[in-house]
Amino acid sequence: MSKIGIFGAGWVGLVTGACFAELGHTVVIRDVATERIEPLQQGDLPFYEPELADVVERNRHRLTFTLDPAEAAGDAEFLYVCVGTPSTYSGDANLSYVWSVLDDLPELDGRPVLVMKSTVPVGTGEKVRSALDARGLEHIGYASNPEFLSEGTAIRDFMHPDRIVIGAFEPADGDRVEELHESLEAPIVRSDVGSAEMIKLAANAFLMTRISFINEIANVCELVGADVQEVARGVGLDHRLGPHFLRAGIGYGGSCFPKDASALKQLASNSGYHFQLLSAVIEVNELQKRRVVAKLVKHLGKLRGKRVALLGLAFKPNTDDMREAPSIVLASRLLAEGAEVRGWDPVAEPGELLKGVEISGTVAEAVKDADAAVIVTEWDELRALASPEIRNSMRTPLIVDGRNVLDPNAVRKAGFAYEGIGRASSPLVDFPRPQSPSTGSSE
């Protein structure tokens, strides 16, 4: 078993460190932020990720947290870089945290391998290698070992990966990173460093392409009278295409896709190539987030003074992550139209990101006297949305299902007007307004 120093106690660093500890390795996770490390030392996780708290708790004896780089790096055989690589104003990846890790490295004996887990532009490994050499650290190995973890299923993704990608300058360094994963059953992809870096970017770009593709098919389905759910099922059963990432909706968000798309687009253009397809994927996604507004206008007319409940605020279910969540764009569009916006999410706490939105503690509270309930994120709790209680409490019984999670016929039978994404909609006119005192005055 090895000693592993992890640099970065964010989501990737914590999941990676906890899972390596679960595999039996000794792990020290280092971060520069006291407000992150101190709670971790007390056993508090800074975000919500299913199963992570249990894995951390189970492995307390071989998983520690520190502010001191020497404690993490000293006698470690592997130095995992798990820091953020956010977008800069130019859309490129900001590598300043990666360079800080290099600056913070103490004197090291032996041949530890610096392993890049963070998502970085192709060519970063070459630059880091040169920087290490220039500092007299030729004896430190280097490998790229990108992460393919999804929020909400990260522990399972680490323990049961589809593949493990390892790119190294020296084959012996790659062999050692491979050994680190030997108890995991997964195909190992060995490549040069640049290709490993590109595998990560290309995989994310392809997943986004599938989402924007099915969203455009959905938009055409609406115009020509087809149902995108049936289309996606029929398309996905072709073994050459597969069923994944064909869920039409109101667009992708999150801490990875938008920034990685931008970084790959800039990487291509900085290298003299205009990546047309990726540019279109990004644009389709931006427009998709706004389509709900037109759907609301179609049913409700002008949105000024209308009350809209946004249900699910995190960028996807089973996470509290609000980064680049479609709910942020949608809320600000609705507020700009003069709508009164309420929001509900079982775990996310949007704070300033949803300034002007009234946050409700329950779904019932969010939809009370509302003119529309919009499913933005497909939390399980929302599958029972079309109930008589909800219908009677709404001012206008309209559900806009931004994730196609409800059965349109059942929703209509329950007395709601229904709008999905890429499926037939139904008008409001069939639905008499309930006559309860709470709703009668607002007609």
Chain residues that interact with ligand UGA, rule: CB under 6 A: 119, 147-151, 204, 207, 211, 245-247, 249, 252-254, 256-257, 260, 315-316
Q: In terms of CB distance, is 14 or 256 closer to ligand UGA?
A: 256
- Min. distance of Cβ 343 from ligand UGA in angstroms? 16
Calpha distance 395→242 (Å, rounded): 42
Helices (H) and strands (E) in the chain, counts: 17, 14
- Min. distance of Cβ 211 from ligand UGA in angstroms? 4
Q: In terms of CB distance, is 112 or 343 closer to ligand UGA?
A: 343
Looking at the chain, how many residues does it have?
Answer: 443
- Min. distance of Cβ 317 from ligand UGA in angstroms? 8
- Min. distance of Cβ 222 from ligand UGA in angstroms? 16
Ordered strands of the 417-419 beta sheet:
358-359, 340-344, 307-311, 372-375, 398-401, 417-419
Calpha distance 88→63 (Å, rounded): 33
Q: In terms of CB distance, is 63 or 205 closer to ligand UGA?
A: 205
- Min. distance of Cβ 185 from ligand UGA in angstroms? 18
Is residue 82 part of the annotated active site? The answer reads no
Q: Which residues contact 108 (CB under 8 A, 6 or more apart)?
A: 73, 74, 137, 139, 140
Q: In terms of CB distance, is 379 or 418 closer to ligand UGA?
A: 379
Q: In terms of CB distance, is 112 or 249 closer to ligand UGA?
A: 249
Least Cα distance to 298 among 289, 310, 306 occurs for: 306
| Joined tokens for residue 368 | 């009370």
Burial grade of 72 (CB within 10 A; 0-12, 13-18, 19 or more): buried
Catalytic residue from among 19, 82, 221, 256? 256
Buried b (16+ CB within 10 A) or exposed e, 367-402: bbbbbbbbbbbbbeebeebbeeebbebbbbbbbbbb
Q: Which residues are identified as catalytic?
A: 256
